[in-house]
Amino acid sequence: SVDEAKAVAARAYELDRKHVFHSWAAQGSFKPMVVTAAEGSYVWDGNGDKLLDFSSQLVNTNIGHQHPKVVQAIVEQAQRITTIAPHHVNDQRSEAARLISERTPGDLNQVFFTNSGAEAVEHAIRMARVHTGRNKVLSRYRSYHGATALAINVTGDPRRWANDRGTEGAVHFFGPFLYRSAFHSTNEAEEEQRALEHLEQVIELEGPATIAALILETVPGGPGIIPPPPGYLRGVRELCTKHGIVMIADEVMCGFGRTGRWFAIDEFDTVPDLLTFAKGVNSGYVPLGGVAIAPHIAATFNDRPYPGGLTYSGHPLACAAAVATINAMSDDGVVDNARIIGETVIEPALREMAQRHSSVGDLRGRGVFWAVELVENQSTKAPLAPYAGTSQAMVEMMAECKRLGMLPLMVSNRIHIAPPCTITADEAREGLEI
Ligand code: PLP
């Protein structure tokens, strides 16, 4: 009954606040939402209220909640075999690696599995360091790469740093971002060219022979959903090739259909040396991440052992979920759906909204991956919340969205809109209306 469900939710909340220590939160004042059920594009909270999930949780439920084929695959795998050491062969792991290799760009044909995005980043950098014999890692400001020791240090976002800054070799540079251009550019072509010139100088002054890798999110997600100008990634690729630097595309958030392509980098005609993924690979039903590896990097470890491993690398439950997710995405045209919903429903609705509200400073995105940047004033661009914090206005907006039945992500002064890639046009309109 409804009363019983509410009692279970109340008990869960009470135990949570007593015993669960939450990510990124001030534990004392944190008031998390209880989720009691989920299906498709919706979740239900502790009061039994139905909310449209415009966040895909943490931008991971790309195939929607409780997809029956994925749930069934997990159940069947659990009944067959639940754990297999990484040095043995498992059919689901082999098949997941094949399906991923077929979809990753170019010749990225081998996969090292991890349990999370941060671990994928750690291992990609490890591979690059051993491959090159160099140490430094270049990464961008306005980036997020994970919360483990190295991943947090290459992350270019002060909101994420505690006492971490200072890992040897982590060097940040500016990426292109026309709305708040570090280069005072006035158009996209100028921004692209100046960002590449800036990167070339950073490489020169850091010393190319000391730089193992350059890691960048194809479309920076957490820091603001910032698609690059059309030729930027090709330019980065050329600089990396010229200087023997391993190019790592971090597609943990923007990969697996989110931008309306299997991988965001597909739009930019560029093949990195390594590509990190997680989240959407199996919609987060069971933790899974990984690194897709180009042959020339993999060859480094043909005759010498790869110095790294994880007990749960390629866990059969997670891989079974990935096989079912990728097959369902292919069979149901989920990637195309994300692109079409983005082009025909989300973007036009946001552009129309921007006409009516002077607080909308900038709109950016692709597919089902959009940011609405809110400002006090369109000419000064003063943000409605500080970069590394929030504001009363944003807190109230979030509460109002929830009250009206929609759950977006609020990050700094931005509303991030990231529903499942399976969202229907009617559901998308319902959320956009709110
Ligand atoms: N890289 C990117 C681009 C991400 O967005 C994230 C998480 O949001 C990560 C890495 C870290 O992934 P995880 O939280 O699974 O460790």
What is the residue extent of each domain of the chain?
33-54+333-433, 68-331
pLDDT at 164: 67
Ligand 1 center to residue 113 CA distance, Å? 15
- The sign of the CA dihedral 260, 265, 271, 277 is negative
Cβ atoms of residues 64 and 40 within 8 Å: yes
In this prediction, residue 160 carries a pLDDT of 77
Tell how far the Cα of 118 is from the centroid of ligand 1, in angstroms. 6
pLDDT, residue 161, reads: 76
* pLDDT tens by residue, 325-372: 999 999 999 999 999 999 999 999 999 999 999 999 999 999 999 999
| Locus of tokens 């069947």 | 76
Q: Which pLDDT score is estimated for 109? A: 97
Is the minimum distance from the CB of 271 to ligand 1 under 6 angstroms? no
Q: What is the residue with the minimal CA distance to atom 8 of ligand 1?
A: 253
Instruction: Give pLDDT, residue 388.
Output: 82
219, 253, 263, best to mutate for ligand 1 pocket (most atoms within 8 Å of CB): 253
Q: How much of the chain exceeds pLDDT 70, in percent?
A: 99
Nearest Cα residue to atom 1 of ligand 1: 145
Distance in Å, CA 144 to ligand 1 centroid: 7
The CATH number that domain 33-54+333-433 falls under is 3.90.1150.10
CA 49, chain centre distance (Å): 28
Using a 6 Å cutoff on CB, does residue 134 contact ligand 1?
no
Separation CA 407–CA 397 (nearest Å): 11
- pLDDT (0 to 100) of residue 2: 84
**Can you list the residues of the chain whose pLDDT is less than 50?**
none
Q: Tell me the best of 113, 145, 226 to mutate to test the pocket of ligand 1, counting ligand atoms within 8 Å of each CB and taking the most.
A: 145
User: So what's the pLDDT on residue 165?
Assistant: 63
Phi first, then psi: what are they for 319, rounded to 5°? -70, -35
Cα–Cα dist 143/95, whole Å: 32
* 160-187 pLDDT tens trace: 777 766 677 899 999 999 999 999 999 9
Q: Which of 263, 279, 411 to mutate to test the pocket of ligand 1 (most atoms within 8 A of CB)?
A: 279
Atom of ligand 1 nearest to the CA of 143: 3
Pairwise CA distance, residues 252 & 275, whole Å: 9
CATH architecture of 68-331: 3-Layer(aba) Sandwich (3.40)
CB of 291 within 6 A of ligand 1: the answer is: no
Cut 0.90: pTM above it? yes
List the residue whose alpha carbon is closest to atom 13 of ligand 1.
117
Binding site membership of 156 for ligand 1 (Cβ less than 6 Å): no
Point out the ligand 1 atom lying closest to the alpha carbon of residue 121: 10
Q: Is 277 in the pocket of ligand 1 (CB under 6 A)?
A: no
The pLDDT of residue 157: 82
Q: How far apart are CA 51 and CA 57, in angstroms?
A: 12
ipTM exceeding 0.90, yes/no:
yes
Report the pLDDT value the prediction gives residue 306, as an integer from 0 to 100.
97
Question: ∠63-122-97 over CA atoms, to 5°?
Answer: 45
SS3 415: strand
Q: From its phi and psi, is residue 206 left (phi > 0), alpha (psi between -120 and 50) or beta? A: alpha
CB of residue 217 inside a 6 A radius of ligand 1: yes
**What letter does residue 408 receive in the DSSP assignment?**
-
